[in-house]
Every structure is written in structure tokens, then in C-alpha cells.
Amino acid sequence: MHASNNMPTSAQRLTDIYQRIENSAKRYGPGGVIPKLVAVSKTIPSAEIAPVLDMGQRIFGENRVQEAQRKWPELKKHYQDIELHLIGPLQSNKVKDAVGLFDVIQSVDREKLARALFGEISRQGKGVTCFVQVNIGLEHQKSGVLPDDVAPFVNMCKHDIGLKISGLMCIPPAGEAAGPYFALLHQLAKGLNINLLSMGMSSDFETGIEMGATHVRVGTAIFGARDH
Ligand SMILES: *Cc1c(COP(=O)(O)O)cnc(C)c1O
């Protein structure tokens, strides 16, 4: 692979993202806590993920179970302490594989899935952190629990199923200012004593941090456009 001289490498872009995260956290973040960067490596081949691993980045996000299974077991042989996040929709028939591979599942969005996850996490005896995905902009084409249903859903997970929900995740509507949506997600989490907030992508992660994100999910700004 040849990088042309005037194009920044993924390693250079990563350094820039770390700096911007730190600056945003300093300016706006509560208590100076630096949010975690989830490097979104969906569609990116292992050979292009390796330089980012070599930089010390250890938290990655994938949106498809099968694609992640093709890449990560091999990468995990060469790099220790990887934390994998599932950030895409999860079918019930893939729950076993997902629990086996992922450390964090950010896309819990329905009762059937929550029950399957609880059963599989218990069977495998593995710690998996669960986030509820919230359809923050009430968009028909997007998955996620509607804002009004988040409290009953989280309580149902906790009391009826036994599944602890540690975080909320959202993808705000494209082409709109993300700030008000992130503020709403923060407010929902606060009311439920939920500490983790996954909000902000390449174009708006600084806004996410400004609104209290603990996790930002950044793909394009690290790996470049996904043209694969
Ligand atoms: C692809 C994806 C991202 C990363 O998007 P970029 O704009 O490339 O940073 C973040 N979150 C989710 C849920 C995604 O599917």
C-alpha cells in the first residue's frame, strides 16, 4: 500500500483526533475525564487497522458480527487488551457469536434481544457491557428505542430480565445540528442513573464531548472514506 506524500496517514489522523478529544474534554468535559475513542473499523481491512493498533489504540467498533469475526480473532493474536464494541444492529441468531467476540454491545434495542443477551452472557460467564440504542430523532428508518420508551425499557431490562444497562447510544439525524439531540440523550441517561454515553462521530464528536459523551465513535476521520 502506498500513501501519497501529501495525504496524512491513519496514524497521523489518529494523533490529531486524540488531541482534539483532549482539547474538547478540557474545555467542556465534566471533571476533566477524557472520553474514550472507539475507532470504527467497519469495512477497513486488517492490514489498514494494524497501523492504528501499532499507535496504541485498543478500542474498536464494528457494525457487523460476521465481518468482525473474520478480522478480530486473528488481530487479537498479535495485539493484547483489545476492547471491541458492536455498534450495529444485532439479530437474535447472532447473539452467541456477538457475546463471544464483543466486550461492549451498544445496540440493545428490543426485549427479545435483551433476553437473548442475558441468557448468553450468563451461559458464557463473560462480562459484556450493554448500551441501549436510542432513536433520538424519531426517524422511521433508524433502529433504537424511542426516547419516551427508554425509561420503561431500561427498567424492564433490569427488573424483569436482569440485564444491566450501563450506557445509552444515539445517532442523530443527518444534516441537523447534533447538539440538542446529544443534550436530550444526556438528560435521559441522567434521569436513569446511567453513566455511559456514546455520542459523536467523525463530523460531530467534539459536540458529543461538549454534551458529556464518555465514548465517541470515529471512523472516517481516522481511516479515511470507506470506499471498500
Ligand atoms: C459508521 C459508524 C460510525 C462512524 O462514522 P464516521 O462518520 O465514519 O465517523 C459511528 N457510529 C456508528 C453506529 C456507525 O455505524
Closest CA to 39 of 52, 55, 20, 24: 52
pLDDT for 208: 96
Please, which contacts does 56-59 make with residues 24 or more away whose CB atoms are closer than 8 Å? 57/14, 58/82, 58/83, 59/83, 59/85
pLDDT for 7: 82
The model carries a pTM of 0.95
- pLDDT tens per residue, the chain (228 residues)? 454 567 889 999 999 999 999 999 988 756 778 999 999 999 999 999 999 999 999 999 999 999 999 999 999 999 999 999 999 999 999 999 999 999 999 999 999 999 999 999 999 999 999 999 999 999 999 999 999 999 999 999 999 999 999 999 999 999 999 999 999 999 999 999 999 999 999 999 999 999 999 999 999 999 999 875
CA of 159 to the centre of ligand 1 (A): 31
pLDDT for 1: 47
Residue 84's DSSP bridge partners are 60
The answer to whether 156 and 145 are in contact (CB under 8 A) is no
- Distance between alpha carbon 26 and the CA centroid of its chain, in Å? 22
d(CA 21, CA 82): 20
CA of 210 to the centre of ligand 1 (A): 18
Q: How many helices (H) and strands (E) does the chain have?
A: 9, 8
Residue 106, φ and ψ in degrees, nearest 5: -95, 0
Task: Name the E strands within 124-191.
Answer: 129-134, 165-170
Kindly state if the Cβ of 220 falls inside 6 Å of ligand 1: yes
The answer to whether 105 and 92 are in contact (CB under 8 A) is no
Closest CA to 39 of 227, 209, 220: 220
Residue nearest to atom 14 of ligand 1 (CA): 87
CB atoms within 10 A of CB 59: 17
Kindly state if the Cβ of 217 falls inside 6 Å of ligand 1: yes
CA of 88 to the centre of ligand 1 (A): 9
